[in-house]
Structures are given as C-alpha cells and as structure tokens.
Amino acid sequence: MISPVLIVPGRFPFALRAKMHSARRPNAAGWQPALPRAVRARAFTLLEIMLAVIILGMMSLAIYRFVQANVTAMRISSEADAVEARYDGLRELLTQQLQSLPPGTAALAGEPLKIDGHDRDELTWFCPAGPGLLTRYATGDFRVSLRLRAHDAKSRQLDLGLSRTPKEDTAVANEHETWVRLIDNVGTLQIRFFDSRLNTWVQRWTDTVTLPRLVKVVIGRTDARAPTEITVPLARMPL
C-alpha cells in the first residue's frame, strides 16, 4: 500500500522543486521555460563564429589577390601589345613607302649620326601626299625624315617620328616643318643600306641614280633588351 504524500502549501518536495527549477529560467520578463539540452547543444560557440569569420576573410583576400594579379597581367599584356603594334605599323609604313620610290630621281638618302656615342641616324625620302607623308591633304613634294627628337626641352627622352618639310623650302629655322611622333621613348636609331655593287652594308646613301637593295632599320628600345630590326627589300635579291 502506497502512502500518500502530504503537500504543505508553500512547500514542495525537493525532487518536484528541482524538476520545476530545471524547466524554468529567470529573465528580465520573469520566469520562462528553459531550452532543452538537445537545442542548446546545436548552438555555435563564440570560438566557432570567430574561426568562420577568419576563414571567410582569408578566402576573400585570396580571391581579391587573384583578381588583382589577373587584372595587372591583362593591363601589362595590353600595353605590350599596343607598343608592338606601333612597331608593326612602322614596318608597314616603311615597306609601303620605300618600295614605291622610283629609281633615278634621288628619292632616298641616308646619313649616319652619333650623339654621345649613341646612333641617331636619319633616313630621308621625297614623296607627295600619301602614306609616306601620313596625310592625303597636301600639295607638292615633301622631304620626309625618319629620325629621333627630344621629347621636350627639359627631358632627355627621345621619340621616333617623321619630320616633314616642303621639298623646295629654303627656310633656315624650319618654319614650315611639322613633326609626327610615332614611338615614344626610343634609345637609338641605326640605319644601314645594302649596296649590291659592293656586296656589303654601308652607313650612308647618296646615290641619286640607283636605290639600295635593302634598307635595315635597327631601333634600340628602352623597354626591351633586344632591339627591333626592320629590313625592307627595295629590289628582288638574286638567288
């Protein structure tokens, strides 16, 4: 026979009070039921949250550096392609112009020049308006010289370009000269002419009757170790 448990008002058995205490928790609003242990076990700790934030930060930094490296590589590649395109354009210009020069008219001349031990040769041709003059809007013949010129009065940088003056111009101060810059920051300019009569390369060309077999332009670059060499055939070489 089970004896009844006497419950005194205001007093509870210890086991009942412990069970009620574990089922309730105090807060600012009063007593609320406590969360089950299974629910409390699934919550993230502060250490886990900090580790997750650190991992996300490292991943973001790695992605940023990867994207930045690719953008820098693309920019450098595009700049290099733009520079090479200028040299390719110069090769096309010289090929088209020099191969169109008529013999027997003193249409081509070349003079060697050195300043401070560096080659600064000049290549000169005479032509009317067209590709060799870089314009179609001109009358008469012009003297066009491929040469180096200082970028400005205060800079030691040399630019490669074309100096254009009317053929019959006799002005001493080059009042009618126009300058077209082709390539910036060039180191040296060396020009050689292949004389088939001597079977060798010469530095100067003054022949007013015949044209050289080959014209070689060597441009020393400041952005590359190897110079750029452009060889233009003016006549078919014998086999």
Residue 113 phi, psi (nearest 5) = -150, 135
Q: What confidence score (pLDDT) does residue 38 get?
A: 54
Q: What confidence score (pLDDT) does residue 12 get?
A: 47
pLDDT per residue as tens digits for the range 162-177: 999 998 887 766 788 9
What is the mean pLDDT of the segment spanning 178-190? 94
Share of the chain above pLDDT 70, in %: 80
Interstrand relation of 114-115 and 118-119 (parallel, antiparallel or unpaired): antiparallel
pTM: 0.69
Residue 176 — left, alpha, or beta (φ > 0 → left; ψ -120 to 50 → alpha)?
alpha
The overall average pLDDT reported for the chain is 83
User: Distance (Å, rounded) from C-alpha 7 to C-alpha 221?
Assistant: 105
Compute the half-sphere exposure of residue 13: CA atoms within 13 Å on the CB side of its CA: 7
* 79: nearest Cα among 68, 71, 90, 67: 71
Residue 10 — left, alpha, or beta (φ > 0 → left; ψ -120 to 50 → alpha)?
left
